[in-house]
A and B are shown apart, each in its own frame.
Chain A
Amino acid sequence: MRVYDLMDRDVVFCFPDDSVADVVRMMKANQFRPVVVVHESGEVWGLVSRLAVIRFYGQDLSRIRAEDVMRPYRIEIDPQWPIETAIELMKKTRHEHLIIVDPHAGPRRPIGILSSFNIVQYMSGIETGHFEQLLKMPSEWSTADPE
């Protein structure tokens, strides 16, 4: 299996000058995923995690910029890497998320995110289709129930 097969393809991104107020709204609107900070050229600059923003709880978030809370990101992951290589890298660097860049679309353009939760899915041995079926079952039952 390749990184491309497992990564989330929806990358949530913001610019360095965006406020943390905007960043938390983006997180909320996108299942609380981390937000990738990109330069105006579209190049990956950093990553804002959920733990990075909560330390500003109770403060005026409109005055804090994404650039001030992001963790600079310098690792380049090719989507064609075997998943095992990416897992070993996550273990070694202690990153919860790896940003996948397109090797053919200019410098460091983000095309996906590989999270530790994607790895849990891989290690659980549950295939994506089967997993979705399991999640759907309760709602189907409730629809089928006349009461």
Chain B
Amino acid sequence: MEERVLRLMRKGAITCGEETSTREVAQIMMVNATHYCVVINRQREVVGIISSRSILKAFGSDLDRTRAGDILVPYTFTITPSTALKEAIQLMDRRKIEHLIVVSDRPGSKAILGLLHVEDIVDRMAEG
């Protein structure tokens, strides 16, 4: 039977608002020891994702004035718990993204359920 994202995804996510400053996002990532932060709007819908690389690219700008909304990578593709794991891995590989946001299976839903992390896939591979 084909493996699904549900098997390896982690429920919940570290989030921030679009108005959060870049420095605060960096602090959120540090304090939570994560390499990402999901950006949500006032309706708690996913807008995009910020990775360590996004923060790095903001180097040189005023970190207290640039906002999460300015540096995020827009979230334009979706995976759900029922997406085939192989398909999700291909998506990570193709887009060079280490964290995929998992949303509800409900059509048009942008409510976040959790994330699929590259570490969890490597962990599974190490188990053999």
Contacts and interface: CB of A to CB of B under 8 A. Distances in A.
A116 B89 contact: no
Interface residues of A, number: 34
Given A55-B89, A87-B56, A21 B128 contact: yes
Contacts of B51: 116
Interface string A120-147: 1101111000010011000000000000
B26 interface: yes
Contacts of A111: none
B55 A116 contact: yes
Interface in A46-72: 50-51, 53-58, 61
Interface in B18-66: 22-23, 26-27, 29-31, 33, 35, 51-53, 55-59, 63
Contacts of A77: none
A116 B63 CA distance: 16
A131 B52 contact: no
B9 to A, nearest CB: 15
B125 interface: yes
A27 interface: yes
Contacts of B27: 124-126
Given A50-B98, A91-B57, A28 B122 contact: yes
A54 B56 contact: no
A28 B92 CA distance: 19
Interface residues of B, number: 35
A54 B121 contact: yes
Contacts of B56: 87, 90-91, 116, 119-120, 123
Nearest to A31: B119
A28 B123 contact: yes
Given A120-B56, A124-B27, A134-B31, A50 B85 contact: no
Given A57-B89, A123-B23, A117 B52 contact: yes
A14 interface: no
Closest 9 interchain pairs by CB? A124-B26, A116-B52, A28-B126, A32-B119, A24-B126, A124-B27, A24-B125, A50-B118, A124-B30
16 contacts: A25-B126, A27-B126, A54-B89, A56-B125, A57-B121, A57-B125, A84-B59, A90-B56, A116-B55, A120-B52, A121-B26, A123-B23, A123-B56, A123-B59, A124-B26, A126-B30
